[in-house]
Amino acid sequence: MPGTRVTIKDLAKRMNLSVSTISRALHNNPSIGAETTAEVWKLAKQLGYFPNSVASNLRRRKTNMIGVIVPRIDITFHSHVISGVEEVAYKMGYNVTIYQSHDSLEREVAITSILQTNMVAGIIACLALETQDCGHFARFNNQKVPLVFYDRVSNDLEASKVIIDDFDAAFRVTQHLINIGCKRIAHIAGCLTTSIFSARLDGYKAALAKNNLPFDQNMVCCASDLSYEEGARCTKKLLKLTEMPDGLFCANDYTAIGAIQVIKKNNLRIPEDIAVAGFSNYPVSTIIEPALTTIDDRAFEMGKTAARMLIRQVEERDTNIASETIVIRTDLIVRDSTRRQPVQP
């Protein structure tokens, strides 16, 4: 019978049992006899029965769907996070539906409406760049739908977070550049209204201060979108300074690669003339020449952690929604772009 779906009603009729018995049998409920249970399972297999989770969700008033909001899926970092989310969600019996905000607040708001309409069990989100006010997420607190932010998080909202210590990571990168002898370290920053990028700038400043190096505003250039092109643009600007930098810390790997290409075109040596470091450990950082020193932000791990955290909150919903924050450990990965002979003091 093509087009028709076999339901527990059909099973009930065929076996002269009530639908409730069938339902309980299929859940291996002990109040149904072992023999009956076995026969129900057998017939279910035979008839190709598949439970209808839509009906089940309606009755149970909850789905097993996790909604994920990312700025863009085709950005390496996010696709790795999603991969991690899917991995644990699958193992825990949850489904994952994804939405791209394209860094637009308007779209992010629309997506939250869709998620509410779809009765998702929980939400994992990375805020759009445009988003300052998170009011549109507040509704989930009322509906007791757990919410976990990752990477770009909201501070004015009661919600769990999975982040890396951007300040610390930036500090360590900068300290590393100092350790190999850099005296004039420039920074290509991201959009500073975003906390992660301002934290990276702060970490950079702190490392300079700790080592008694002066901070020079001219040595910081803000890239609007963290692309190759912006990295190249900023680098050209930095190379025109009367006192050229001898080290460069970029807020992500893309800008770092744009920087490397410009530096090489200017016949400067990396790392001898300028040492370069990035942030994120994208696959491309091993391909560029010289290979790029960077921070591994462990995106996959971040996704897995966020999913685990969310699912735990979903399943403990009745007890309490304690919002928690997990900081993922990052690794400094040193490659040729900063591999100099250490300076002798």
Using CB under 7 A, pick the residue from 28, 42, 47, 51 that binds DNA. Answer: 51
**Residue 142 binds DNA (CB under 7 A):** no
What is the rounded distance in angstroms from the CA atom of residue 104 to the CA atom of residue 76?
19
Residue 74, contacted partner among DNA, its own copies, none, CB below 5-8 A by kind: its own copies
**Residue 143 binds DNA (CB under 7 A):** no
From residue 59, give the alpha-carbon distance in Å to each of 4, 49, 164: 22, 19, 39
* Beta carbon nearer to its own copies, 208 or 306: 306
218 SS3 class: helix
**Residue 36 binds DNA (CB under 7 A):** yes
**Residue 119 binds its own copies (CB under 8 A):** yes
Q: How far is the CB of 94 from DNA (least distance, A)?
A: 16
**Residue 17 binds DNA (CB under 7 A):** yes
Q: How many residues are there in the chain? A: 345
Backbone angles phi, psi at 203, to 5 degrees: -65, -40
* Beta carbon nearer to its own copies, 174 or 293: 293
Do the beta carbons of residue 44 and residue 26 sit within 8 Å? yes
Using CB under 7 A, pick the residue from 13, 42, 60, 144 that binds DNA. Answer: 60
Q: What is the DSSP string of 55-120?
A: HHHHHHT---EEEEEES-TTSHHHHHHHHHHHHHHHHTT-EEEEEE-TT-HHHHHHHHHHHHHTT-
Using CB under 7 A, pick the residue from 13, 28, 33, 118 that binds DNA. Answer: 33
Using CB under 7 A, pick the residue from 24, 161, 172, 335 that binds DNA. Answer: 24
Residue 314: which of 88, 68, 63, 60 has the closest Cα? Answer: 63
Contact segment (CB under 7 A) with DNA among 23-31, 178-186, 237-245, 327-335 equals 23-31
What is the rounded distance in angstroms from the CA atom of residue 69 to the CA atom of residue 298?
19
**Residue 76 binds its own copies (CB under 8 A):** yes
**Residue 138 binds DNA (CB under 7 A):** no
Residue 126, contacted partner among its own copies, DNA, none, CB below 5-8 A by kind: none
Using CB under 7 A, pick the residue from 1, 2, 3, 16 that binds DNA. Answer: 16
HSE on the CB side for 326, CA within 13 Å? 17
Using CB under 8 A, pick the residue from 8, 21, 37, 86 that binds its own copies. Answer: 86
